[in-house]
Amino acid sequence: MIEFKNVSKMYDKNKYALSDININIEKGEFVFLVGPSGAGKSTFIKLLLKEIEPTNGKIVVAGTDITSINRKQVPYYRRKLGVVFQDFRLIPSLNVYENVAFAMRAIEANHRDIKKKVPMVLSLVGLSNKYKAFPHELSGGEQQRISLARAIVNNPSLLIADEPTGNLDPETSLEIMDVLNDINRAGTTIVMATHAKDIVNQMRKRVIAIENGAVASDKERGVYVYED
């Protein structure tokens, strides 16, 4: 599903954000990306999203060498991904239904498919009854659930979650993780960057720890061992 081959990223001549990274993530895995602030997690995510280019190496996602695709191909590549951020990024002028439908309209899905699929994913995240609500009427946890619904409505093979529980209280964070776990069990590969030590240690998924731009450890059922 994801392969980093000798990937390095240098922002200036004296410092590597990532240095000679070699990682394989199989289809259907749930992987936590952890490490102290400034370790290189954000760079890893930005490379996956093709927001930045590696200085050296190759990145393959679902069989596509994304380091070789041109700028015009990037939007089509990103349509295959689901992305969830810490700050939700919902459109405030659209209600819940419209926010989720927006992702389908972006790929030119027809009205019939939108009308069928949006209620399905809202049911999956437990917010069917909120479809007419606007973002400002929702709690933080509800907004993140809508962000998840929007991220998965187009059936992505890969979901990238960048600190998705960072703005949530512990109880709500666990609820979001339950939803992510259900999404993963349905077959979606998940890569989640996080500082949430309790969540990582409780879920006991694969943990890739990055420190000073290098892979410090990669354990099948790891724990969070770093302090910021």
Tens of pLDDT, residues 45-92: 999 999 999 999 999 999 999 999 999 999 989 988 999 988 888 999
Q: Does the residue 85 lie in any domain?
A: no
Dist CA 173 CA 213 (whole Å) = 27
Considering its fold, how many domains does the chain have in total?
Answer: 2
Q: Write down the pLDDT at residue 222.
A: 79
Structure tokens at 20: 């000679």
The reply to whether 13 and 118 lie within a common domain is no
H or E element that contains 85: strand 81-85
User: What is the domain extent for residue 150?
Assistant: 92-155
The reply to whether 145 and 197 lie within a common domain is no
pTM: 0.92
Residue 60 maps to which CATH number? 3.40.50.300
Last-in-domain residue among 140, 155, 170: 155
CA dihedral 201, 45, 140, 75 (to 10 degrees): -140
CA angle 141, 189, 83 (to 5 degrees): 45
pLDDT average, residue stretch 2-21: 91
The reply to whether 97 and 126 lie within a common domain is yes
Last-in-domain residue among 139, 155, 171: 155
Q: Does the residue 223 lie in any domain?
A: yes
H or E element that contains 181: helix 170-185
Q: How confident is the model at residue 226 (pLDDT cuts 50, 70, 90)?
A: low
Which one has a higher pLDDT value, 166 or 101? 101
CA dihedral 88, 187, 182, 138 (to 10 degrees): 20
Structure tokens at 174: 């666990």
